[in-house]
Amino acid sequence: MAEFLYSSMAASASIDSGSGGRVVFSFDRGLTRNIAVFLAVLLLVFSAYLIFAGNGGETSRTPIFLRDVSGFSAGEKEALLEVAYAAVDDFYAGRRRSDFDPSFGGVGNEVYVVFRLDGRRWGAGRASCGNLAESVYNAAYRILDEKSCDGTLTCYGGRSLKDADFQAEVFILDRGFEVSDVNIFRVKKSGMHGLEYEPGVHAIRIIHGAGNATYLDDVLIQGDVEPERMVERLCGSLGLDGFCANTPGVVVRLHRSTHFMKLERDGRVLDVFRGNIVTDELPRLRDVNESFNAMSGWISANLNDEGFFNYLYFLGSGSYSTSNNMIRQLMASRFLAELAGEDEAYLDLHRRNLEYVFENWYLRDGDFGYIYFSDKSKLGATAMALRTLAYSPLLDEYGVEAGCLANTLIGLQNEDGSFKAWMIEPDYAYDEDYLLTFYSGEAILALTEYYGRTGDERFLDAALKSQNYYLVEYVDRLGENYYPAYVPWHTMSLYRLYQITGNESYVDAVFILNDELLKIQQTEKPEFIDVWGRFFNPRYPQYGYPHSSSTGVYLEGVTYAYELARERNDTARMKTYGESVRLASLNIINLQFDSENTYYLNRPERVLGAIRVGVAQNSIRVDTTQHSADAFKRILTVFTEEEFSAQTPG
């Protein structure tokens, strides 16, 4: 992360009487190019007073103030980015300008400029003058003039910006504030909600004596690091050991910024938030379709040469994890099986995937078959393998395996209809009731779908037996046993069993479950627009942290609830569920990688179309995209364009 860190140990400031009263800062070239701590204090003082200076025999008054960083217009951003590009032109032409747009005069916000080439930071600089355009120019010029990037040449890569197709980014910082409780940085970013520090939104600055060091707000996202680690790195750059934030004499400040850029000089200005390009414009059905196609492309491309899916990708390091999870692998396998059943273009990929799964993870014991991995066999994994075959156009080739998997699900069913969570138990303690909030609905759904392919009443009877048991446990006793994870799986199984039996009590159960689920969705427009529509409510910490896979599977379940509400002409629920669907779609689209928000990656092909884990968790797990793709496929099945666009919250 060295190229993201800005540190300063000394600086001086003076008022230049020949410069129209602007504040000019001079830096010791033997030190880093960044602004010293007292400069920040000086700016705060200047924001409250008028500075007077002689100018060619006249007396001028130039107010130095800090602008609200949220108030810059698109035209102003365009002009400031052009100033940054012009600084590069001037440097290579051997000139340096001294006149700047007076409309930016008196604006003393601290500015950072970043140049990026081939997805890597080529260089970065900062400045703060009495004219915001001049600050941008000086920061940009300094990058090339000082021939350094955080004291090294590593981020230059030996390439010149002259005539290169590079990107320019501008950060404008606000006044900031001192952190009252530095221990907030020890909280994992996934658990940070409602604290002074918002991951990916605030820049962090540590001040000690005459030195300071800063990480901009996007560092946590692009590096996919925890706040505590960032603080430790800042401390280290100042010669302090470990987590120095609570050391006497150390001050920690947070700053909001406006961050904008261009991918090319004549391109459009992009507003960047948490290292991402986000929108508050509700999607249309064609947007959902475009997003779905991109997800499908990523899932198929993510199937590796061996025949299984790359499970987890860390964008910060550009590496794949060696960990794995059978249920999540097989949920992606089921999705690919469905695609292959509809489009022969996916058939070879599906066949390769099935061959790997059943050669490496499938075991058989007489009439029973199961998925075995890491010395254990989960009910949920066996259920997902059966679901995969139930959707597969190759079911006839795997008929024996499918029958054995189905036998195992029935074999794990207790007399009362409940399930056992394991075919082969692990050697560690576990909470079976918790596991069954996931596995029970998955198993019922697998049996129901397999019945749909075979017509064998034995599997339908088993599904009904278990469904009726869990209706009591999860619906009638909702107040005692409620947990959101079981809602989408039982919504889907109840929907399918209703289609078969016409039992209206199953529809009532779907409504009860989804009415409760929507209590955790972010339906009101929030301060941070990228969380709008997700399924997470900090008032219910017992339900876990926000995760895009949760939003995806919850969204899929709500589409079934909407369809049933429409069938009953329940207009109130149609409105509630429909608005939920459209908002959750917005949240997922805002988490998707596309050609614009991959600007900081040198291997964008690995992530295009994928859904990241969360707004501050910049990694991709196979099920984050698979669940979202399943949900979007359902939306495209259930809604017309007119019907979807009519779902307008508020």
Kindly report, residue by residue over 353-381, the tens digit of the pLDDT: 999 999 999 999 999 999 999 999 999 99
CA distance 615 to 320: 20
Question: Beta strand pairing status for 619-621 and 312-314?
Answer: antiparallel
Let me know: does 253 contact 179? Beta carbons within 8 Å.
yes
pLDDT of amino acid 55: 26
Whose tokens are 């000690």? That residue is 208
Which range, of 91-100, 420-429, 587-596, averages the lowest pLDDT? Answer: 91-100
Let me know: does 287 contact 639? Beta carbons within 8 Å.
no
**Average pLDDT of the chain to the nearest whole number:** 89
pLDDT exceeds 90 at position 8: no
Q: How confident is the model at residue 59 (pLDDT cuts 50, 70, 90)?
A: very low
The burial class, CB within 10 Å (0-12 / 13-18 / 19+), for 595 is: exposed
Let me know: does 406 contact 354? Beta carbons within 8 Å.
no
CA distance 533 to 540: 16
pLDDT tens column, 314-342: 999 999 999 999 999 999 999 999 999 99
What is the value of pTM for the model shown? Answer: 0.90
In order of 389, 545, 605, the CA distances from 594 in angstroms are 32, 25, 10
pLDDT exceeds 90 at position 579: yes
HEC sequence for 111-180: EEEEEEECCEEEEEEEECCCEHHHHHHHHHHHHHHCCCECCECCCCCCCCCCCCCCEEEEEEECCCEECC
pLDDT exceeds 50 at position 80: yes
Enter the tokens of residue 616: 């501050």
Q: How are the residues of the chain apportioned to helix, strand and coil, as percentages rounded to the nearest 5?
A: 50, 20, 35
Which range, of 22-31, 266-275, 445-454, 545-554, averages the lowest pLDDT? Answer: 22-31
Which residues partner with 259 through β-bridges? 171, 272
Contacts of 549 (CB under 8 A, 6+ apart): 613, 621, 623, 624, 627
pLDDT exceeds 70 at position 161: yes
pLDDT exceeds 70 at position 585: yes
Question: Beta strand pairing status for 23-26 and 12-15?
Answer: antiparallel
pLDDT exceeds 50 at position 45: no
CB burial of 217-227 (b: ≥16 within 10 Å; e: otherwise) equals bbbbbbbbbbb
pLDDT of amino acid 118: 85
Which residues partner with 214 through β-bridges? 6, 205
Higher pLDDT pick, 233 / 6: 233
CA distance 4 to 536: 31
pLDDT of amino acid 632: 98
CA distance 132 to 101: 9
Q: How confident is the model at residue 30 (pLDDT cuts 50, 70, 90)?
A: very low
In order of 77, 269, 280, 605, 622, the CA distances from 101 in angstroms are 13, 19, 32, 40, 49
Stretch 457-477: mean pLDDT: 98
Higher pLDDT pick, 111 / 538: 111
Let me know: does 560 contact 510? Beta carbons within 8 Å.
yes
Stretch 167-188: mean pLDDT: 95
Contacts of 343 (CB under 8 A, 6+ apart): none
Q: How confident is the model at residue 521 (pLDDT cuts 50, 70, 90)?
A: very high
* Nearest residue to 322 via CA among 333, 309, 311: 311
pLDDT of amino acid 50: 25
Q: How confident is the model at residue 162 (pLDDT cuts 50, 70, 90)?
A: confident
Let me know: does 270 contact 261? Beta carbons within 8 Å.
yes
DSSP character at residue 527: S
Terminal CA-CA length for the chain: 42
Contacts of 472 (CB under 8 A, 6+ apart): none
pLDDT tens column, 209-267: 999 999 999 999 999 999 999 999 999 999 999 999 999 999 999 999 999 999 999 99
Residue type, 192: M
Higher pLDDT pick, 562 / 47: 562
Please name each of the domains of the chain with its CATH number: 8-272 (no CATH), 285-645 (1.50.10.20)
